[in-house]
Amino acid sequence: MSISTGVTRVLVLADAPVLRRGLVGMIDETAGLQVVGAPGEPRRALVLAESARPDAVVVELGSGRSATLTAVRDLRRRFPRTAVVAVATSEDPAVVNEALAAGIRGYLLMNTSATLLGWAVLAARAGRTVVDPQIRRVEPGTAAPVARELTPAVPLTRRESDVLDELVQGQSNRRIGENLFISEDTVKSHVKAILRKLGARDRAHAVSMVLSARNGCTCGSHDLTAASVEV
């Protein structure tokens, strides 16, 4: 398989065929990412990684969590530079912490978007920890954190806040317009205003700022290329 220079090679590890095909499609449609293998069984991951040498691994973390985390630990021991992102069913903070302790650097829920998945892979490769914005992560032995939001010097309008929430979910301008019943040109105007008020370079940077504020993790990225660069 020919891989272009600069492309992030991704191994997909998912038991369910439908989910596996979905993840492969989401990754391959994201600029800069390319699937180099998709084994259906966790025990095959290490063998395939030996030959494919992926830059990142996207794993399903569902009912077979124990076996998957064992495979992740093996992968991380053998290939410590390989970033691992999980697409999971559980929102339980204890499960999130267990996954992060095993070496997973991105924890997303099953309803994630292609944009957010691609961004999480790039962020994980850069050594950052990404937790789905729908999840409130709780550190062991601590009380649940108070939700934090960005407070730009120039406050966002209500509509701009709505658009920002859609951006965090990885929605395109067209889909945001459909969801909020506004035109795509209006969405573009709101996005430009959001970037200006947040001091963000692009959409990915704005999303990383929101994730960092909400989750208290090192999700921020000032040197990542957005998976989707539309404005």
- H or E element in which residue 121 lies: helix 114-125
Band (pLDDT 50/70/90 cuts) for residue 136 is: low
pLDDT of residue 218: 40
User: Which is more confident, 160 or 210?
Assistant: 160
How does the average pLDDT of the chain come out, rounded?
79
Contact 52, 36 (CB under 8 A): yes
Band (pLDDT 50/70/90 cuts) for residue 185 is: very high
Over range 23-39, report the average pLDDT. Answer: 85
pLDDT of residue 228: 38
- Whether 215 has a pLDDT exceeding 60, the answer reads no
Distances in whole angstroms, Cα of residue 80 to Cα of each of 56, 88, 101, 118: 11, 22, 14, 20
CATH of domain 146-231: 1.10.10.10
Band (pLDDT 50/70/90 cuts) for residue 146 is: very low
| Domains of the chain, residue spans | 8-131, 146-231
pLDDT of residue 127: 84
**Percentages (nearest 5) of helix, strand, coil residues in the chain:** 45, 15, 40
pLDDT of residue 154: 81
pLDDT of residue 116: 86
What is the pTM assigned to this prediction?
Answer: 0.60
Strand arrangement, sheet containing 106-109: 33-37, 8-13, 56-61, 83-88, 106-109, 130-131
CATH of domain 8-131: 3.40.50.2300
pLDDT of residue 221: 35
Q: What is the pLDDT of residues 37-62, one digit of tens each?
A: 876 666 677 777 887 888 999 988 88
